Chains A and B, each alone.
Chain A
Amino acid sequence: MMALVASTVVCFVLWLLLTFNGKAWGNDEIIAGIIFSIIGGAITAKLVEKDYKPMSALRWLMFIAYLPRFFYEMAKANFDVAYRVITGKINPGIVKLKPGLKNNLSVTILANSITLTPGTLTVDVDEEKNLYIHWINVKDKFFEEDDEKCRCRYICSTFPDWARRLGE
């Protein structure tokens, strides 16, 4: 029930934003919006996780704080890939990473962040939530490092900590 209400509200807010044209909405628009968002909410309610709970205000603030850091890494990633496209210097390989995260949301955040940052692409995830990452420029230092936390630094800087704060 909670899932149905949550997804209906999200659908309705989306409807309001997408039909906004500078003037207040007419009654017919709002009624049509309610009908369609209940239909959309009923369809998507199954996709919401069973133990769903809304993100707290602190999490949202943390998420906003995460964005500038993320965009900085992303801009760096793009210049890195641009450099590799032009020079053709690559040294690819697939490496295993143990970020030690527990739930699906934090792993999703981490995997998507990794894909959008310097030269790394998440290929697979196993049952213990270890990530397999295709890395375009494998550094030898990565294998010499024993500590898992330091290993993560090479691939995704401090993203595992951010993902833990945001998702767990």
Chain B
Amino acid sequence: MIWEIIYICLGIGIFFNLLASIGLIRFPDVYTRLHAGTKCTTFGGIFISLAVIIYGLWKWYDGDDAMISLSIHAFFAMLAILLTNPTGAHAIARAAHMSGVKPAKAVVDELEEVKND
């Protein structure tokens, strides 16, 4: 039963990470690529760490004391992914816009309008 839950979590995680890599190739410019590269990897990363946390807790419950550290470390990795991924995406997008990269196929760019005023 627990193995199945772990495999489902891993499967979801790997599926979204795969979509992120496909998105990186398919999308036209840096901003849309960031959409694929940040959201999907965050979601995928959360599910993969969740699988590790469940495995650690399960083995810990079975009597292997040291396994709890696996869960705790995976939990902190999850928190770090959740906090740093959007921040990093924001930093890359801002740097790209400041150095003059135009969003491809954009219908509107209100930041460019403000900068030109």
Report which A residues bind B (CB closer than 8 A).
14, 17-18, 20-23, 74-75, 77-78, 81-82, 84-86, 88, 90-96, 111-112, 115-116, 119, 121-124, 126, 132, 134, 136, 138, 143
Contact = CB atoms under 8 A, between A and B. Distances in A.
Contacts, number: 136
Contacts of B82: 116
B16 A121 contact: no
B106 A121 contact: no
B40 A93 contact: no
A123 B97 contact: yes
A93 B106 contact: yes
B60 A17 contact: no
A138 B103 CA distance: 13
B8 interface: no
B27 A123 contact: no
B107 A23 contact: no
Given A20-B69, A21-B68, A123-B94, A91 B19 contact: no
Given A85-B19, A85-B22, A22 B110 contact: no
A96 B111 CA distance: 7
A23 B86 contact: no
Contacts of A93: 103, 106-109
Contacts of A95: 108, 110
